[in-house]
Amino acid sequence: MSQISFINLDGQSFELPTFVGSENEKAIDIAKLRDLSGYVTYDPGYKNTGATKSAITYLDGEEGILRYRGYSIEELADKSTFLEVAYLLIHGELPHKAQLDSFESEIKQYTISNEVLKKIADTIPNSVHPMSEIAGLVGLMSAFHSTEEAGDDEKNMMRLMATLPIMATWNYKKGLGQEANQPDTSLDYCSTFLQLMFAKPGDPFKGDPVVSKALNKLLILHADHEQNCSTSTVRLVGSSHANVFASVSAGIQALSGPLHGGANQEVIEMLEAIKADGGDTDKYIAMAKDKASGFRLMGFGHRVYKNFDPRAKIIKKAADDVLKALGVNDPVLSIAQHLEDAALHDEYFVARKLYPNVDFYSGIIYRALGIPTNMFTVMFAIGRLPGWLAQWKELKTNKEPIGRPRQIYTGYTSRAFVDIANR
Ligand code: ACO
């Protein structure tokens, strides 16, 4: 039941309603604060702002809890497939067998490459980062698919699920000077992606179950993370009634930044640089603590997790398992472990509650699976897609208003125009 809170401003008391979420998260509804008092709230980076009510993902940063639709990330990563989790996020419940089969065949129905988009992709120079390429291609999809008719949204969500992994492989194949592979729809979702990446012309693709299982796990761990930067972007863009392609394209761009999804590429590059520099992890820990150096320990720290990131725990173990199963000996794994160990015992990192995040070990696994470094964030985007779709759908279903924050203006007050000759 909602209660009333009181706020005292300029000697006057104002009443604001409060409410509680299903996990006992308490909120003050400040929507009327400005009308009542003339005050707005100020919260750069939205560190303490609930921008929406959502029933998709719950996370408790203090306790290291992450659940999709009530199911723990540990159980989902262990027992589920990526498509099951995608269904769960988008439709709200784990699918029955028949529902999962029909979800999968619906996606497969759209696994046809758009030849115009392919031609456009062929003209994009290989120097362009694949995140920019897929953001552009996803945005352009609205040129080919109706977004106005009833039922379009559901179809377009399935189109994105089907075609993002296909388009994601084009940049890589182009770089190899090879034709893009056509998807083998007899395979499951993750294996089809691996076949698109690694099948050799004329050589039937032999999937490795270890690789496919690892990929399923990684994508599940990335599938949603409540109101992070890219998801908030998807919701903000969608709130203007922009279509799902425009909204997801914007989400991909937001994800590409090094403080967000782009960190997984930065982590491997950092580990490689430390290796090339003789493997002296202490030197880099010292640099990360020295603000003047401009260096941050990539893959460390999180806005919400202040104890541990449950995804990082699962990924660290998976990295060990996958490397062993594939017989890969990656020297950067031990550099990563040394860095983690040193940071976890260092006062600077302990005091600021900085722990490895999901990106710290994910690149090591992607690399063992044969994914090139510049595609690590693309893999994150493929994993995050069902989360973006679920959040976009929720925003529309709940008929949320257009997102439009206020500001505190700090510029000049009114002044007279000065003619160019007198400036
Ligand atoms: N290395 C060194 N110091 C750090 C790091 C880091 N990786 N992260 C935070 N700090 C320090 C800051 O300098 C600051 O110190 P101060 O209080 O002395 O000024 C303090 O810890 C708090 O950091 P903020 O930047 O204020 O924390 P915020 O919540 O705004 O940022 C972020 C979180 C962006 C994840 C940050 O920790 C970071 O830049 N990490 C490295 C990039 C990274 O791994 N990003 C991936 C995040 S997970 C994801 O998006 C999937």
Task: Give the tens place of pLDDT for each residue, 178-223.
Answer: 999 999 999 999 999 999 999 987 778 888 999 999 999 999 999 9
What is the rounded CA–CA span in Å between residue 239 and residue 136?
Answer: 20
Catalytic, 302? Answer yes
Could you tell me the distance, in angstroms and rounded to a whole number, from the CA of residue 148 to the centre of ligand 1?
Answer: 41
- The response to whether residue 363 sits with its C-beta less than 6 Å from ligand 1 reads no
Cα 307 to Cα 349, 362, 399: the distances in Å are 11, 19, 35
Atom index in ligand 1 nearest the CA of residue 229 equals 50
Phi-psi category of residue 69: left, alpha or beta, with phi > 0 → left and psi -120 to 50 → alpha: left
271 CA → ligand 1 middle, Å? 18
What is the distance in A from the centroid of ligand 1 to the CA of 297?
8
Q: In a mutational test of the pocket of ligand 1, which residue from 269, 293, 296, 380 has the highest number of ligand atoms less than 8 Å from its CB?
A: 296
Residue pair 255/131 in contact (Cβ under 8 Å)? The answer is yes
What's the pLDDT at 47? 96
Rounded to 5°, angle at Cα 180 from 174 and 184: 150
Name the active-site residue from 222, 224, 260, 359: 359
Q: How confident is the model at residue 385 (pLDDT cuts 50, 70, 90)?
A: very high
Share of the chain above pLDDT 70, in %: 100
- How far is ligand 1, taken at its centre, from the CA of residue 298, in Å? 9
pLDDT in tens, 141-180: 999 999 999 899 999 999 999 999 999 999 999 999 999 9
Average pLDDT score, the chain: 95
When pLDDT is averaged across residues 308-336 and rounded to a whole number, the result is 91
Q: How far does residue 301's CA lie from ligand 1's centre (Å)? A: 5
Give catalytic status of residue 96 as yes or no: no
Decide: 352 in ligand 1 pocket, CB within 6 A. yes
The pair of structure tokens assigned to 33 is 């604060």
Per-residue pLDDT at 356 exceeds 80: yes
Show the beta-strand stretches assigned E in 314-379: none
Question: How confident is the model at residue 1, as a pLDDT?
Answer: 53
Q: DSSP code of 357?
A: -
CB of 298 closer than 6 angstroms to any ligand 1 atom: yes
Question: Tens digits of per-residue pLDDT, 60-93?
Answer: 999 999 999 999 999 999 999 999 999 999 999 9
Query: Atom 45 (ligand 1): residue with closest C-alpha?
Result: 259
* Ligand 1 within 6 A of CB of 296: yes
Mean pLDDT of all residues in 127-145: 96
